[in-house]
Each structure stands twice: as C-alpha cells, then as structure tokens.
Structure 1
C-alpha cells in the first residue's frame, strides 16, 4: 500500500470515528468536557444537570464507564455504572438549568451559543 492510500484511509477512519462519537450518547460530564469545559467545572455542572434531569423526568440510558471526568480508572478496577444522555436530552437539561455562579452562567451561555 502506498503512502497516499495510507493517508487517505487514515483520514476516512478519523472522520468515521468523529461522526460515530458524535451520535453516541455520553455522560453529562463528558458532554461538557467535549465542548470545552474544564474537568472541575464539568463535574459541578454535571451534578446540577443530574438533579435537573430528575425534576424534569429526563431518563438517559444506563451503561458502564471506565473513564471519569477525573481520568481513567485503574486497569483492573471494575467498571462503574453511569447514565448516558443524547445531545437532545443534554440540551434540554441545559436550557432548563439556571445557574447562580458567574462561571457556570458563562459555561451555560457558551454552550447554548454553540448550538
């Protein structure tokens, strides 16, 4: 296989992976991390969005996770249960979220502008 074909195949694989990841449901913290929030703010806002999901009755899909917003779990650690939300569910929760702290207000505004 020549270098040109290898490069083309790598580009197609990266594009496929990006499109597949965009369609998959993510945890609330990973939605925030993927959109540029730092890890500590992502975990704080995710907790608030989880409580908002309970009040609105938004239920995600149950899953297991090997990686948290703080980093990867140790190799032999058991996977932890989590709830994954689609993009639509995430933005529903984000529009209903009304933060008080200035940094969370800024995060919410940036995410809603990106839509």
Structure 2
C-alpha cells in the first residue's frame, strides 16, 4: 500500500461491475500475507494487485455498498481518534486512572475518602467532585438482547396460535386425536405426542374405544387414527400418572371437562 494515501483505495474488481475498497493485504488459507495483492473490505476473496491504479470514492461508480459502509465507518473512527479529549469526558473510559485534584482552598492537600484533613470538612472526594474530587464515568448499561426477546415473543405467539386452533377444531368437531387434545391443552407437538402415547395405553386399560378415522397432517400421507371425545380422554387421563410438572398440569386440564 505504498502507493495509497488516505482515500485512494477504490478500484473495480477483476470480475463484476462494482468498485471495492482495497485496504488490507491478501491472506491465503495458511494465513500467509501477500505483499503483491490486496483484498477488498467486503470479501477477502476479491483481490487486486498492489501496483494497480487506485482512485478515490468520488471517481468510481457504482460502488460496493458493503465496502462503502465499512469505509465510511473506518473514516469516522479515524476522525474520532484525532479529536482532542473534551473536558466532560472521563479519562477512565480510556483506561487511565483518575487524577486527584487538590483542594480548592489549600492546593497542597488532597481530600481523603472521609474528607479533608486540613480544613476539617467532611466532604468526600467521591461525593464532592468540585471540592477536589474526580468524576467517574457512568457505568454503561448492557445492551438489551433484542434478537433474543423477539425470538421468544415469536415463539410464544406461535404456541398460542397452535393451541387456539387445536381448541377451536375440537369445539367444532367434538372429537380429536389424543395428541390433538394435548395440543389444545397447551402442549407443543413433540410433548403432545409423548403424552399421547401414554394416554392411548391407559385408554385401552379403561375401555375407551374412540372412533376410527383418517388423519391428514399437512403434506404427509394419510394414515389411520383414533379420535376420542373429551369425556373419553378425561377417563383415560384419570388412570394416567405423569411425572413431569407440565404433563401433570395438562392432565388436570384434560380431566376438568364439564359433566
């Protein structure tokens, strides 16, 4: 990059119609840097020879949007690094220890943690920055996990829609598979299938035969199934003894059917 200055880093790639910003040496798969080629800011696989002709951003168009955004961020960081430290900024933010300032009345003394020994005042250095103290930078609040919160909200809404649809389908038809009853009670499909297998065994023990039918689940091939009424599922649930807490709550909901 001996031919480059602060702005002449733009050039068109060997292939493609966009100009890229070439600022870093190209690195091969073994991690060895090449002094003959430079790589683009957006992708290390885009390279140009170091002795190529590079121009400023205003001289080429169209430009790669990713390179342009990263190049503008780079220029902004350079500008911020050259700005002098403002009085309101704390030096603790830059890793330096805060400097004690002398007392306002006698410059040879300093405030201790409990006050000034010379004048007898009880003003602490931490509580009275103007009386010989220092101001510490406020602790930065951790950024809220936005993506995690959105994912959790979408999952909650999806579970709620699934439960409401299963409950509405059960009200319309009056019968449903055992897994359908469990989903309508609030379980997810995986847990509903696990609980349904146990309920079907208990249904056979208590003599609940149900109604034979055909199940259509999305694009899967149709398969035979057995549908039960809420009263039959309540009888089967009365003989079921789950261990998991969420299965116990669903069992109670299945048993709470109107007489």
Aligning the two structures, in what range does the TM-score lie when normalised by the shorter sequence?
A: 0.5 to 0.7
Map of 2:226 onto structure 1: 83
> Which of 31, 44, 47 is the aligned partner of 2:197?
47
Q: CA RMSD in A?
A: 2.2
Correspondence for 2:246 among 103, 107, 114: 103
Q: How far apart, in 1, do the equivalents of 2:185 and 2:176 lie? A: 12
1:26 alignment partner, SS class: coil
Higher share of residues assigned helix: 1
Secondary structure in structure 2 of the residue aligned to 1:106: helix
Answering whether residue 175 of structure 2 is matched by residue 25 of structure 1, we say yes
Q: Which structure 2 segments of 5+ residues have no match? A: 1-167
- The answer to whether the aligner puts 1:66 opposite 2:229 as a matched pair is no
| TM-score, reference length from structure 1 | 0.66
1:35 and 1:98 map into 2 onto residues whose CA distance is: 17
User: With CA pairs under 8 Å and 6+ residues apart, which has the higher RCO, 1 or 2?
Assistant: 1
How many residue pairs match? The answer is: 90
Structure with greater Cα Rg: 2
